[in-house]
Amino acid sequence: MRRLLLFTAFALSGFIWLSAQQPQPKKPTVASKPAAQAQPNKGRNINITLTPLKNCKVYLGSYLGNGKALVDSAMLDDKSHGVFKGPTKLTGGIYFVVSPQLTIQFDLLMDSQQQFSIVGDTAAKEKVVITGSAENELYKAYVAFTSSRGQRLSQLSNEYNASKTKEDSTRLRNEIIKVDKELQDFRGNIMKNNSSSLLAMLLNAMKRPPTPAIPVVNGKADSTYPYRYVKDHYWDDVMFNDDRLLRTPFFEGKLDDYMKNLVVPDPDSVINEVKYILLSARTGKEIYPYLLTKFTNKYMNPEFMGQDKVFVYLFENFYAKGDTMLLNPASRKTITERAYSLMANQIGLPAPALDLTDTTGKTISLYNVKAPFTVVAFWDPNCGHCKEEIPKMDSIYKAKWKAYGVAVYSVNIYENEIPAWKKFIKEKNLSNTWIQAYETKEAKTATEKAGKPNFRQLYDIYKTPTVYLLDKDKHIVAKQLSLEQFDDLIETKRKTSKN
């Protein structure tokens, strides 16, 4: 399936290029808001002197989720001077200056004024001087303090690991605690005393709640409390509609960790989280479409079975209610078709009806098959993977499933491959108790004329083999698993039903 990208851009040695001058990137996959946001009077005017570079172009870049983007360029004259200039302001965040060779020289904060000067040297990147920006003065002090304390912590850690006496270990551990507290207090003071600053926003977005000790309540340890506490406070002081979050190297990683480690992977739990994040981000001009696209990409082809329900939720509650305006026609078509292919085959729903023709010309209805479990397998007799998997399934069936009363409803997906289909069944000696069926050309034509979805759409058959497991009532229990996983699930379900 096609992957949707919020920003279409040109790859440049690990960067993508986003023009801050143009209203949209060239040929967007998903129509996006520009990197720059219009302001009534002033735009950006950032003077730069970067020695010893002369008569060459340098770039201004920013973080963009998990990637990096180039957003502006400046031509340096014979005195190493140039200007990043434009009629609009850039979204605030962490930016960097990039050399003509596309190597990052140093970081800076893009403040709300964007009228400042940079003086630097490619041979002494750490000595860059930024004037006219209170945000960068604060950032410089923060970097200097945390760097010195970080070095001290590293030194103390090495000494602690090499300590040979209990007294030394205790002394060094106390010193480590003291220096770490100084770091935490310094960050805390910035967030308290400069609460409206960009740096405070960044520090709030970076921080993760400490894991508390397990409390004892009425003599019983509450082992789930640390998890609940961390999850409840994970996003304290973070506003999901703040576009500046995208221009950091840590926000998306923090979000990914949260979804992976703190959110229960069942679809309904994921939907609750996604819903909260997207509704909170709704007024963000850049971050909202970015997050919507991120979740769309992730759950259109999910890692875990059943999570495609999240994608269907996104389609029904966002795209179908107007957010297709974020998409170009090709992407809108891809998302819509994918959603309709998944709606009818969600875990827990009744399986779509199948009334197909067997090898003798008799119509066999899926819902007339009586069995505690039914495996529905869609395959192509000329598919290389099918040639391996279908006989393997038959072996498992003969060894175990047949004795369990499992039924197999096997479907050849191509009505023009009947000879090859029958030949394969015979050559591989597939079980004669399987239901072997296909859709006749006449039935296919009738379905098309009636404007009804065909079984390929209803069962989301975009690869072969595609396999489903149904319960006795023909509700979907599982799909898109390996044969071994289907077998394990049948064993588990049988044992559970006996208890």
481-496 pLDDT, tens digit per residue, is: 999 999 999 999 998 8
Query: pLDDT band at residue 38, thresholds of 50, 70 and 90?
Result: very low
* Coil, helix or strand at residue 281: helix
Question: Tens of pLDDT along 226-261?
Answer: 999 999 999 999 999 999 999 999 999 999 999 999
Examine the pLDDT at 6 and tell me if it is beyond 90: no
Query: pLDDT band at residue 499, thresholds of 50, 70 and 90?
Result: low
Question: Tens of pLDDT along 277-296?
Answer: 999 999 999 999 999 999 99
Cα angle vertex 326, ends 252, 36, to 5°? Answer: 65
Examine the pLDDT at 16 and tell me if it is beyond 90: no
Range 114-118, long-range pairs (CB < 8 A, 24+ positions): 114/42, 114/43, 114/44, 114/45, 114/46, 114/89, 114/90, 115/42, 115/44, 115/45, 115/46, 116/46, 116/47, 117/46, 117/47, 117/48, 117/49, 118/46, 118/47, 118/48, 118/49, 118/50
For range 128-144, the mean pLDDT: 94
Examine the pLDDT at 40 and tell me if it is beyond 90: no
- Kindly give, in sequence order, each residue whose CB lies less than 8 Å from that of residue 32, ignoring residues fewer than 6 positions away: 6, 7, 24, 25, 286, 289, 290, 326
Mean pLDDT of the chain: 90
pLDDT > 90 fraction of the chain, expressed in percent and rounded: 84
Query: pLDDT band at residue 88, thresholds of 50, 70 and 90?
Result: very high
Examine the pLDDT at 24 and tell me if it is beyond 80: no
> How far from 322 is each of 215, 277, 318, 326, CA to CA, in Å?
47, 18, 7, 9
Are 345 and 456 a contacting pair, CB within 8 Å? no
Matching residue, tokens 């221009």 = 247
Q: What is the rounded (10 degree) CA torsion for 253, 255, 261, 262?
A: 160
> What pLDDT, on the 0 to 100 scale, is given for residue 343?
94
Query: pLDDT band at residue 327, thresholds of 50, 70 and 90?
Result: confident
Query: pLDDT band at residue 14, thresholds of 50, 70 and 90?
Result: low
Nearest to 304 by CA among 270, 339, 349: 270
For range 26-32, the mean pLDDT: 34
Look up residue 115 and give its amino acid. Q
Strands 67-75 and 36-37: unpaired
Are 311 and 302 a contacting pair, CB within 8 Å? yes
Query: pLDDT band at residue 427, thresholds of 50, 70 and 90?
Result: very high
On whether the 10-132 domain is CATH 2.60.40.1120, my answer is yes
Query: Dihedral sign, CA of 251, 253, 256, 262?
Result: negative
Which of 15-29, 49-63, 108-122, 170-184 shows the lowest per-residue confidence on average (mean pLDDT)? 15-29
Examine the pLDDT at 56 and tell me if it is beyond 60: yes
pTM comes to 0.84
Residues of 134-156 as b/e, b for ≥16 C-beta within 10 angstroms?
ebbebbbebeeeeeeeeebbeeb
Burial zone of 384 (CB within 10 Å; 0-12 exposed, 13-18 middle, 19+ buried): exposed
Q: How many CB atoms lie within 10 A of CB 388?
A: 11
Q: Which residues pair with 50 in a beta bridge?
A: 120
Query: pLDDT band at residue 41, thresholds of 50, 70 and 90?
Result: low
> What pLDDT, on the 0 to 100 scale, is given for residue 15?
66
Range(s) within the chain of domains with CATH label 2.60.40.1120: 10-132
Question: Tens of pLDDT along 359-393?
Answer: 999 999 999 999 999 999 999 999 999 999 999 99
Are 96 and 248 a contacting pair, CB within 8 Å? no
Q: What CATH number belongs to 355-498? A: 3.40.30.10
Range(s) within the chain of domains with CATH label 3.40.30.10: 355-498
